[in-house]
Structures are given as structure tokens and as C-alpha cells.
Structure 1
Amino acid sequence: MKKMIDSKKQWNIIDEKLTSSDQAQLQELELNPVVYRILKNKGYTSDEIQAFLNPSPKNLYDPYLMHDMQKGVERIQQAVIEGQKIVIYGDYDVDGITSTSIMYESLEQLGANVIYYIPDRFKDGYGPNKEAYQRLIEDGAQLIVTVDNGIAGKEAIEFAQKQGVDVVVTDHHEIPNDLPDAYAIIHPRFAGSEYPFGGLSGAGVAFKVAAALLEELPEDALDLVALGTVADIVPLKDENRILVKYGLQVLNQTIRPGIISLLEKSGIAEKKVTTDTIGYSIAPRLNALGRIENANEGVELLTTLDDQRADQLAEKTVKLNAKRQDIVNDIYEQALAMLDSKQDDLVNVVAAKGWHEGVLGIVASRLVDQTGKPTIVLGIDSKTNIAKGSGRSIEAFHMFNALDGHRDILEKFGGHHMACGLSVDVNKLPQLNAVLNLEAKKQNLTEKSKEIQDVYELSIKDATLEMYEELNALEPFGEENPRPTFYFKDFQLESVNLIGKKQETLKLKVSGVDAIKFNVAEDEYTEIKDNTTAFQFIGNLAANTWKNQTNIQIQISDMKLNSSELQKVNEPNKVVVARKTQLKTGDFLAANQTYIFFNEKLYQNVRPHLVHGSRAFLYNDFSNLAGKEAVIVDFPLKLKDFEILVPQLKKFDKITFWCFSVKSAAKIGLPSRNDYAKVYRFFKSVKGVDFKKDVNKLANTLQMKKDLLVLIMQVFFEVGFVKIDNGVVSGVDNVAPQNLEQSEVYQKHLQKIKSEQVFLTSNPAKLEQWINELIK
């Protein structure tokens, strides 16, 4: 079979039909059906849809519900009254810069003796630094208030407290087992806290502290909290959605000289500021300050009232960002060339001398997008012979777990599921490469592993400016509320062209609608042109204005060639993979069809809907199993179950695999040791929880997917780490250590992930070939 363009992600196509109850709610809410389907798929009730579409400041939570808010605010107020020197200790990214600015402006408004300090990425590193604290204390600091950091700064904070300098921590990051002995820890997810929403950014926490200090909503800081919230990629739901919606309104009418000048010098002053403007234009420029030099000037840019100084700082910010882009592009090209000789590696590891440490995370992200593989990019220090850098991962590979057990070969290491920072001796780079490939195999990562993306089915005739405007009701877009991605159907591919200076932009005419995709190779363009009927794509709707004319445009995010369409010009296969993400009764109307199931419950549900002459079988029931064609409706939870069925498939002339799955185990993921520890600590610290009733609130508090939390609780219940009494869950004291990965619940979940990698996320053509070979 001819080599095909394949999608970078596994598309989960949602085409749920609206019920009569849905139609009634639709009329009551006066919503576009597509918008309603999207919100319904998120699990929102009618009331929740109303709240989502109409976020209001009145729904912001009382800041004093947050852990230690009262204590922290009283200590800051004492410092203000007594004229003590307060130092705001921030961070060098956008969330840290905006957090610092919010706290600084609020304390200045109260007449405080206040300064701010942004640590240097290259000298101080992230978070509280003992040497930096010592310098600040020697310079007269009497109270240190951290913003967007501090929860993991045990050593530096204990040093400060011993010097008689109190530290008030305001943070939103992961809570470690060993907490710092700070005067107060203000954190939205602190165990036992009554705060209803744990997803705030550092700027969000600073904003809530400011609200408590000022005893009113600090509306002047809404623009800053929107910048920090969007830039830090926290969930745009609940309180964050309110802060960003109203923050964008302030941003679009901003009187801050620094922001006005930055927008002008970035060429976007005349455009409406949206979350995309922040994510793609404002945030990268502000981040460039901390990546290339020092981010102190970022706070000055956001808070200055001097127009001339604002222009100077904005000019410098734009120039540093351009420099950052050039550095990133240069390293990216070098790294990409290195990967040509590493095609067989499951995890990319690249390192070189002279690479700028401040941009390696960006390069790693771009390489992940390009290759679909987890990637680590390291810069080598010629003097120390230490390679230091960043890693970025994919959903199917837990990067922290992969490296956590190999700290003996690393100088420094820290991170989470999707990212890490590390240092390693150059001589141990081959060992690091080997370890990552080994761990990738242990996690069942293969070249077939793909991230699953939800997409909504949309006819091309509905791709209109009117639809685009209707979808804007879902704004602001961001993490956990992305701009809707659609799988387009019922189209004809009318023209295929490459445009742009480097001829790397694909421009299509699809049933009269323009569609574009950036960074397309010439061989991909040729394949599409030669196989127009096999072309499939997903993308977002956008408005494109050219010469004062605005038209709808589709921005393609992923594409592939349909193997079944290509198959028409090749030798026919006995096996056809035609995956289904949803099942409807209409799928079972074919006469004289044989349907085979692995899931007994699904088998029992479907049987009443079969038409006369069609039959249904379980995979291990071979009585009268024969016919011309068969449909394998779902797939096995264990690959061994499939081996039982394979010999029986020889009886059929054609077998179609729908590979339907009720719920994706891979999307749930595997719990990390940190996940287990966090949940266990919570249930040990809280006397009892009605888990079934409060599961959504618990998942939000722990910042964890609900399904992952449920999986962990099932494991804990099996091994006796928790007990249930009348529906109330509580932790068990003095439990013996156990290997949780050996539990039956965990192993079943792991088996399903392995099976999904074969039947759900593999290349369809390769899966067809593999099954055909098995049958033969």
C-alpha cells in the first residue's frame, strides 16, 4: 500500500444526536444546536450552561475561604501599619510577572513600604533561593510575600523565619509532602481548605489576596489577572472564566502605558484583544524578558505610568522576543537535523554546546509537535561538562515517572507528567537515552501511540461566518475550554496549492470554503493532490479579512488520507478498519449481518436492535459462527482474548472492525506516585467524605481528572488504604506498604490501555495488515 499522510492525533469524532429533551432545553436557552452540543458534551446541565455563558463577578468566591488568608492578610496589614519593608518575591514567567504587579500595586495603594524582586532564571533558578533571601534580608527586608512560588521553598523560607523575617506564601503549584514552615500559606488547594475552586493561577491567587487587603474587588488589576491566567494555561472554567472574561474587557480599554505601547509595537493595537492575542502575542513577548535577560523590567513595563519609559521597555521587550525567536528557530533546526539519525528512538534526546538554556522548553515543545514523540533538549556547558535543559511529553508517556527511578544518573531533576527540567553529565547522555527508550517500552509507548482529541462533526455547508459568530458565545477560549475543533464532512476538495515565501502553507478550496494549514511538506502536498477523495481533516473556524472583505476560513489542525478510500485502487483486503466513536441503533440495520462483541453488557444492549436475519455473538461463543461478512463491534480488554477469536475469522470473506470503546483508558491515564500520595494525604487529613456526592468537587480540589481519581480510589479500596462506611470514605491508619501497580484494578486498566494502543490509536492501515497476517 502506498505511504499515506497520517494524523498526528487520534480523532474522537462526536456526533451525538439531540433528544426531544435536548430540543426543549435548546429552545429555552435560545442556543445554536452546535453550541448546545459542545456544552452538553462537557457535561453541563441547563443551569450550568446558563452560568457558563453568563459569567458574573457576583459568582467570585470569598477570598477568606482560602487557607491561611486571614492569617496572611493580617500579617501584611501589620507590616503596612508599622512601615516594615515588604519584599514581593515573584517569578520570571508571565504568571509571576503579573502576580508581582498585582501585589505590588495593591500594597502601594495601601501606602506600604514595598519593593519587588524577580529571581534571575540563570543565577537564582525557580522559586525561593536561600542566597537571594539572604541578600534581601541584609538589605532590610522585614516581610517576604511570595507570589506564584514558595510552596516548595522549604530551605530558603526556614532560613528567613530563623532570621526573624516572616514569609507569607501565596502560590498555586503542586503541594509537596514536606511543606515549608512559613508564617502563612495561602493556597487554593490546601488539604482541608473550604475554597471551592483549586484551578487559580498565581495571578489569580494574588488577585484574591489583593481583594482581601483592599476589602473590595481590585477591578484595575483584572487586566493583569487575565494575562497571568491565560499565559499559565490553567483551566478556563469556574472562577478563572469570570476573571478572564472581565479582564479582557479591561485589557481592551487599558490605560496602562506599558500594555498600550507593547500592543502598538507588536502590530496588534488595532485588533480586539482575545485569549489568542495573549497566548500568541503578548505572553511570548513578556516571557522573552525572563528567558533572555531578567524579568524585573516586565513588572516595570506593566506598572509604570511614564509613557516614555513604557515605550523604551516595550521596544526592548519586542526586540528580545525577536532575538528569542531567532534563537529558538536556530536550535530547532539543529535539533531536528540531529533526530534524522534517531528515527528508531521512542523518546527524542538531543544535546549540543552553545544552546541557550532559556528557550530549550520551547524547542522541546516544537519537536514534540513535529515528531509526535516525547522530547528532551539539553544545552551543554563546556566548562562543567553538564547538560542542562527541559523535556516535554505527550499524554501517553509519563515523563516524571520515567525518570524518577533513575535519579542516580542525573545531577538534578524535577517535573510532572507532561514536562521536566533536568541536568546530566555529558558522559551519561547515552545512558539517559537508553533509559528513556526502556521506560517508554515499559509504559507501552510505541510509534502508534497518539493523543486523543475530541472533535465535533460538522457539515461543510455549516462552516459560515454566522456559525463562527455563534461559537464566540463560548469565549474566552483556553485550557479545558479550547476553541471547538471540527471534523468536516460532505465536502469536495476543489483545489490544492502551496503558497507563501517558502511554499510551506497549504491552501485548499473545500466546497467553496478556503482552508489553510501551515508547515506542510512538499511530499504531503503531492499526496493530497493525488488522492483528493481520500483527504480528511479537522480544524477550527476563523474569520479572515482581506481588502475589507471578511470571509470564513478553516484553519486545519490535523489531516490524513483515509485508508479505505485508497484501498479502492489496491488489492482488496479481507480486513477493513473503520473505527466508530459512537454507536446508534441505525448502525445495526444491515440485513444478514454477523456482529461480534467482547463486552457482554454491550452485547446484551445491542441484541434487541438487530434486524431479522442478523446475529450477535460473544467472541468466545463459536456456535454457528459463520457468514460472508462480520463486524467486530468493540475490541478486547486483553490481547489474549483476541487470539481466541482470530482462528474463527477465517470463516468470513470480509471483517470490518469498528473498535468501539465506551470510555478511553488511555485518556484517563495511569496514576503517578505523586497522584497516589496526594489522594492518600487528603483522605488521611479529612475525617470523612461522601465520595459519590462530592467526587467532582474532590477532583477539582486535587486538580485531577475525575476518572483518574475514581481509578485511584478503586485501587485504594482493593488494597485496604481506604474504607467506606455508609457511603462515607475515610483513610485507614497504619497501612502496610504495597505495590499498587500489582492490584487487580490497576492491571485491568493497564491491559485496556495496551489494547487501545493496538485497536484504537494505531495506524489503521498497519492494523489491517497485522490482523490479515494473523488470520493467514
Structure 2
Amino acid sequence: MGDRLLTSKYEWQIEAELDKNVIAKLAAETKLDATLVQILYRRGYQTATAIENFIHPSDSELNDAFLLYDIDKAVERIQTAAFAGEKIVVYGDYDVDGITATAVMYSTLEQLGADVSYYVPDRFKDGYGPNKAAYQRLIEAGAQLIVTVDNGVAGHEAIDYANSQGVDVVVTDHHELPPTLPAAYALVHPRHPKGNYPFGGLAGVGVAFKVATALLDEVPSDMLDLVALGTVADLVPLVKENRLLVRYGLEVLRTNPRLGLKSLYELAQLNPEELTEQTIAFQLAPRLNSLGRIAQAKLGVELLTTEELTAANQLAASCQAYNQQRQELVEQITAQALAKVAANDTNAINLVYERGWHEGVLGIVASRLVEETGKPSLVLSVNEAGLAKGSGRSVAGFDLFAALDHQRDLLDKFGGHEMACGLTIAEASLPKLQVQLNAEAKTQGLTAQTKQPLHIDAELKLEQITPTFYQQLQSLAPFGTENEEPLFLITGYDSLAAKAIGKENNHLRLELSGSGAGPSISGVAFSLGNQAVTTIVAHSEALRFVGTLSENKWRNQVSLQIMIKDLELDQDKSQGVIIDQRTNKLRKSLFTKVASYIFFDAKLKEKVTPLLPSGANALLAAEIDDAYQAQELYLVDCPQSLTQLEALLPRLEFAKLYLLFYQQDNAYLLGLPTREQFALVYRFSASHKNVAIYQRLDELANYLKIRRELLIFILQVFFELGFVKIENGLMNYVPNVKAQALENAECYQARKLRMQAESTLLFSNSTSLTQYLTKFLKH
């Protein structure tokens, strides 16, 4: 049957073509490539004027700082304090947004001649945001005005304490607003409920910059580099005002870097002239963030504000060293965490913990586990007191906050949102939490086969990738949240060569040529693993991939290259392969090919057949008696038993077999009822007459505290064994029935077979599934 297909990591979602006439007209008017016009059109820029304004933004995108709610009060109070010589403390945060916002506000107040200092909380001692104990220390040390940056909207307790001590607090923040706002002297926030600021997406440093502009009565252009750093690092929307601020800030970062950053460039071997938002995201931000994770984030403020070369060099060296330490910790803990996951990979949710793991990197490790396993992951470090503290990251379709919210009785502390969380829990409670999380995965319908969606902007032929196209593509930059770097499905190429690269041969480099006469283009994919690279090198002519475009600069030579985001062996070039497309949701997009679709369930066949394209075949597995041959076959649903599938497989001959194995309700995840649940329902039926079972099923399930699906199954078993009878919709107990084992019911045996089938076909990895199927296929 051939080798198993190397499948994509993500579910590719390719945008459909738009009206060609509309796109061609706009392309002519804007003198842009039609592919790029199509991308911009989908992003909401649907006229030539809108496209021109996006590509060439003007200063009009910068909103008047005084449109921010409470900014008049904030400016007046800060200026009064500055001129009166009051002691002002800028209270920041330990991430890049907080560090840069602190530097902006501190530098601004210094320019005003204020008696100003700054305080950056310790991630481990103070936690995030205003901390009452920290406020108390600052006030006892003489603080007369506290100005927060990148925090404060949730600081009720600390701000109330400051007020009780006669110390005003001016809050500047951008985070989600709580239902009740703190009693700050002024609260400057772009989404203030009483405000009317035109753009709500500013980062914390963006808000601080606006306050600085109002305080100085001019735009402090020398601080735009700080705004770019914090804005890109904090993943706020990179559109409208933010996009312009980052554009201007990148220019400052390239042409006039401050001393600390210049030193950091040299240590990181960065060429300032080539610096982009990608450099911030993947080079500068991780280095600055490492300070708050490993050491003290205040070092970052010092780095960004120092005017002494010696100090700049020393601080940059510390930053570089802490980043190296952070990288080593991440690699070390990730390896240990993956080993723990591999030792018990039956869990739907990864929950790993160890004594002594560094708390500052656990969020990064959790993200790594999600990438490697495709499962929501929680990573915790256990301290000497037996408390486990750490972070969690989720996948699309699983609400991690809700899952943990249901377990608050187990948790000491907990906070977060759907995709990420932080928590503290007693080590002794961790095994129970694992059980509860697995149960929550069943409740939310999380399956191991769910692929995360990957949005692909357009198909791009290799011959279209030219220096002119790339230059036009860069006019859409800077890229970031809500203005993502376009991702392309690359087509129209031949693979000239493929080879493994890197010390461990786990990276891939391709040499590709198109149909035109242009030069070949390289494609690079990182961290695929040795086995995957070996497979691809052997079958590179069948490779299909998506990626972004970049420039490769080597020895004064500049060439275009493709950074591969995801790949698979091409279904149109691979023969005799099994293609794993298991799904828990049937979409019309799954039935676009003129192929043969095999169903085990007749009702599902009847429902899906109208969705099939003209010329496609829909067949019931039970009706295939002889050999059946087709170029492409789909197994649409999951059989009720492995015997059904094992009888069918030897009759199939195909070039490509697609596995959907759709199952609406997972018996395997739901499990069998317990003896106690059977007994509970039995006692209820014996003591209640004329139960309107169809009308009151949900009510009965709630009363008995048994899931509806399990209750239905229990009643089916009782009905088959004669323990109850149902007439005219009324259920009654049947007395004096001969005792029988529950297992004697045919529906009980059928459920066990179905669970076995689902376990094998839905909850195995692709390799194991392919190996199982291959045993029964005709060779």
C-alpha cells in the first residue's frame, strides 16, 4: 500500500478566490500585485483609497492624546507634583510592555524636572499589578504620588490603601476593565467606559506615550523606539494608530538606537539597518522579558534609560546572559516535561510538575508542550512547602479557564482566560486535578485528533515570488496581531534538492524551481525531527507546504526564501497512501472531491449524500460484498465495531484512502455506567409508576445526577432485559423478573464493541492507526 502519508500539523484553511474583475480593477488602480490586493480586500481595505491609506499611512492616524478620558486630570496632577517637588513613583510591570512604559513615563517626568523614581514589581514576590504591601513600602519611603503604567485597573485594594494614606494614584493602563473601577485620582485607559478615544487597541506603553505627549505638549519622537518595542511584544492589534507608532518606532530603532539597545544589538549580532518587527518579537523582546523571568525587570528599565556607555554594556551583557539562562531552562524543563507526558500519554490534558522547576519559564514550557502534543498543558513547580505553582496554555476549542473554574475547591489561587492561566495548588491535590481535567475534556468534547486551524491567505506560484512582489509585500508591514504576515500555499514548483541541515539533522532545506526562467528559491523548515526530514528527503517531489516569505542575507548576497510553517506529502502525487483526516465535525468542505464515500451508518449516508459533488459515489459498507476499486476513497464515519471495518478493508483497492471516522457521540469518552448508577436507576424504577420517560428524561437525569446519554443507555439495557416496560410513553417497573447479568443485554455488548472501535480508530495516533489498518488491507 505504500508508506504512510506525512500529514500536516494544522488544519489548512485556504481562502476562496474573490471576484477577479473587482481585484483586477483595484490592482490596476493601486499598481499592486493582484494576490496582495486580494489579501488586503479580505482584511477590509476594499477601495483604492483605503489601500493607499493603509500602505502609506499619515500622521492623521495619531489621535489627540487629550481625547483620552481623565487625561486632563492626570496631566494636571502630575505637573502639579513635578513643579512642587513631590516624590513621584512610576509603578510598572515586569514584561516588555511594562518595562518600556516605565521607561517612557520615567524619562518624561525627568524632563519635567520631577523628583521621580520607578518601581517594577517582582514577578515572584509581588505578582502582577498594584500590590498593597509594595504600595505600603513605597509610601513609607516618601512617595506622594504613584503613577501606574501597564497596570492598575484591577488594583482596588492597593489604591484604596494609598487613598487612605493621602497619596493619589494616577492609573494608566490598557488591560481588560473590571466591572468596578478602582478609586484612582485619574484613570487613563483607551477603552474607558465613559471615554470616547478613537482607538482602543493601545499597548500599555502606547497609553504612557500618550500621557507623555500631553505632559510635554509635543510628540516625544525620541521615545517611539520604546513604543515599538512594547507594542510589538504585547501582541496588541497592529493596525491604525499602533501600526503607525511601530513604523515610526522601527525607524528610530534602526537609525538612532539608545545606548543600551545599541549594546544589546552588538551582543545579539543584530544589524540595526535590517531590524524589523520580527527582530523585536523573536530577538529583542525575549531578551528583555528574560530579566523579569530570571532576575529583576528593573534592569530592563535601566538598560533603556541609561546614558552611560559602561553601564549600557554591563546591562546588555546581563540581559544576554539571563536570556541564555532562560533558553537553557526552557530546553531543560521542556525535555523533562515531554518525558513525563510520554510516560503517560493517555491523558487528554497534560499536567506535569516537578520540584525545583524555575517558575519564570513555565508558561513558555506549557506553550512548547501544546505545540509538541496538540493538547492543553499545565506545567507547575512544587516548592518546599508542598505547593505547586505554574501556568497553563490551551488549544482552540477547549476553555481552560472554565475547566479550572469548576475545580476551585482544589485550587489555592487561580486566574486567567480561555487560552491561558496561572494557578497554585497543593501537590497532594494534583492527581485528583488530573482526573478532573480528563473528565472536563470529555465534557467539552476535546479529542486528540483535533487539529488547530491555520489560516492561509492565498495560493502563490513559485514564479510569482520575485523581488518586486516581495517589495510590495513589505508595504503591508509591520506585521502582527490583526495584520498578520501573509501565509501562502506554494504551488507550481519542482524540487531540485532536499537535505537535512542542523547539528541533529532535524531541519530541512529545499531547493525549488518554478516554470519560469528565474533563479531557484530555498525553502526552510525548522525542528521537524529526524524521521520526518528523512521521509521528506526521500519523497521531496510529493511535498506540499505553506509558508511566509523572507530575505536571506549571506556574504553580501541577498536572496528570497520561504519559511515553511507546515507541510505534508502531496495527496495528488502520493500513491497507495492512508490519509488521516479524522474529525469530530462534518463540514461541507470535506466533501468537495469526486470520490467514493463509504458510510457505516445508513442515516448518516442519507444526510450527507446531498452534499456530495456531482459524480461522487455514496456507499454503505454493509452493501460492499466484492472487491471495490477507486482512485480515492473516504471512510466517512466510525464503525460500530472493529469487526465491521476488518470485514470491509480487504475488499478495498485505492490510491488514496481518507480517514474521517466521524462519530457524533463518543461512547469511549463517556464510558460505561457504574454498577452504582445501574442500581440507582433500578431503585428509582421500582419505586415510581407511570414515569413519562420521553418528556421528563432531562429532569430525571438531573434528579439522579447521571448524564443524559448514560441514563438512556441504562434504560435501554433494562428494557431489553425486561426489567422495565415502556407503553404509550410511560415507563413502569416489571416485578418478579428473573435476575440476569447486565452484560447479557445485546445493547451492552454492542456498546463495549463500539467503545473498542472508538478507542482504536479515534484515539490512537496516526502511526498506530495506519499500522492497524494495513494488516487488513489487500497487498
TM-score, with length taken from structure 1: 0.75
Q: Which residue of 2 aligns with 1:753?
A: none
Structure-2 change in CA distance of 1:529 and 1:272 (3 Å)? closer
**Superposition deviation, residue 246 in structure 1:** 0.7
Count of residues in Structure 1 that have an aligned counterpart in Structure 2: 653
Q: Which residue of 283, 286, 292 maps to 2:285?
A: 283
Are 1:549 and 2:557 counterparts?
A: yes
Are 1:413 and 2:414 counterparts?
A: yes
Structure-2 change in CA distance of 1:212 and 1:597 (3 Å)? farther
Q: Which residue of 2 aligns with 1:191?
A: 193
**Superposition deviation, residue 153 in structure 1:** 1.2
> After superposition, where does 1:114-125 map in structure 2 within 5 Å?
114-125=116-127
2:314 is paired with a residue whose SS is helix
Contact 1:543/1:553, CA 8 A, preserved across alignment: yes
Are 1:238 and 2:240 counterparts?
A: yes
1:401 is paired with a residue whose SS is helix
Structure-2 change in CA distance of 1:379 and 1:395 (3 Å)? same
Question: How far apart, in 2, do the equivalents of 1:591 and 1:376 lie?
Answer: 42
Q: Which residue of 1 aligns with 2:528?
A: 520
Specify the code of the residue in structure 2 equivalent to 1:74. E
> After superposition, where does 1:6-21 map in structure 2 within 5 Å?
6-21=7-22
> After superposition, where does 1:24-423 map in structure 2 within 5 Å?
24-46=25-47, 47-382=49-384, 384-423=385-424
Question: How far apart, in 2, do the equivalents of 1:239 and 1:325 lie?
Answer: 33
Encode CA deviations 1:210-255: one digit per residue, 9 max, x unaligned: 1122222121111100000001111111111011011111111124
Contact 2:392/2:421, CA 8 A, preserved across alignment: yes
Structure-2 change in CA distance of 1:597 and 1:211 (3 Å)? farther
1:476 is paired with a residue whose SS is coil
Contact 2:8/2:568, CA 8 A, preserved across alignment: yes
Are 1:569 and 2:576 counterparts?
A: yes
Encode CA deviations 1:325-363: one digit per residue, 9 max, x unaligned: 112111111111111112222221111111111111111
Question: How far apart, in 1, do the equivalents of 2:766 and 2:18 lie?
Answer: 28
1:378 is paired with a residue whose SS is strand
Question: How far apart, in 1, do the equivalents of 2:130 and 2:558 lie?
Answer: 50
Structure-2 change in CA distance of 1:597 and 1:157 (3 Å)? farther
Contact 2:293/2:360, CA 8 A, preserved across alignment: yes
Which 5+ residue runs of structure 1 have no aligned equivalent?
Answer: 620-626, 641-651, 660-741, 743-757
Contact 1:14/1:581, CA 8 A, preserved across alignment: no
Structure-2 change in CA distance of 1:764 and 1:340 (3 Å)? closer
Q: Which residue of 2 aligns with 1:623?
A: none
Question: How far apart, in 1, do the equivalents of 2:185 and 2:191 lie?
Answer: 18
Q: Which residue of 1 aligns with 2:6?
A: 5
Contact 1:411/1:423, CA 8 A, preserved across alignment: yes
State, as a whole percentage, how many aligned pairs show the same letter: 46
**Superposition deviation, residue 429 in structure 1:** 0.9
* Structure with greater Cα Rg: 2
**Superposition deviation, residue 132 in structure 1:** 0.6
Structure-2 change in CA distance of 1:410 and 1:581 (3 Å)? closer
1:152 is paired with a residue whose SS is coil
2:523 is paired with a residue whose SS is strand
Encode CA deviations 1:355-414: one digit per residue, 9 max, x unaligned: 1111111111122222222111111102x1111111112222221111112111111111
Contact 2:366/2:378, CA 8 A, preserved across alignment: yes
Computed over aligned residues only, the root mean square deviation of the Cα atoms, in angstroms, reads 4.4
Encode CA deviations 1:50-88: one digit per residue, 9 max, x unaligned: 222112222211222222222222222222232221111
1:541 is paired with a residue whose SS is strand
Question: How far apart, in 2, do the equivalents of 1:434 and 1:525 lie?
Answer: 37
Specify the code of the residue in structure 2 equivalent to 1:560. E
TM-score, with length taken from structure 2: 0.75
Q: Which residue of 2 aligns with 1:693?
A: none
**Superposition deviation, residue 28 in structure 1:** 0.9
**Superposition deviation, residue 321 in structure 1:** 1.1
Q: Which residue of 1 aligns with 2:482?
A: 480
Contact 1:353/1:380, CA 8 A, preserved across alignment: yes
**Superposition deviation, residue 289 in structure 1:** 1.2
Specify the code of the residue in structure 1 equivalent to 2:564. I
Specify the code of the residue in structure 2 equivalent to 1:400. F
Specify the code of the residue in structure 2 equivalent to 1:146. T
**Superposition deviation, residue 263 in structure 1:** 0.8
1:474 is paired with a residue whose SS is coil
Specify the code of the residue in structure 1 equivalent to 2:200. G
Encode CA deviations 1:647-695: one digit per residue, 9 max, x unaligned: xxxxx99999999xxxxxxxxxxxxxxxxxxxxxxxxxxxxxxxxxxxx
Question: How far apart, in 2, do the equivalents of 1:91 and 1:473 lie?
Answer: 33
> After superposition, where does 1:464-613 map in structure 2 within 5 Å?
464-511=466-513, 512-563=520-571, 565-566=573-574, 568-569=575-576
Contact 1:390/1:422, CA 8 A, preserved across alignment: yes
Q: Which residue of 2 aligns with 1:736?
A: none
Q: Which residue of 2 aligns with 1:689?
A: none
**Superposition deviation, residue 183 in structure 1:** 1.5
Specify the code of the residue in structure 2 equivalent to 1:162. S
**Superposition deviation, residue 180 in structure 1:** 1.6
Contact 2:231/2:246, CA 8 A, preserved across alignment: yes
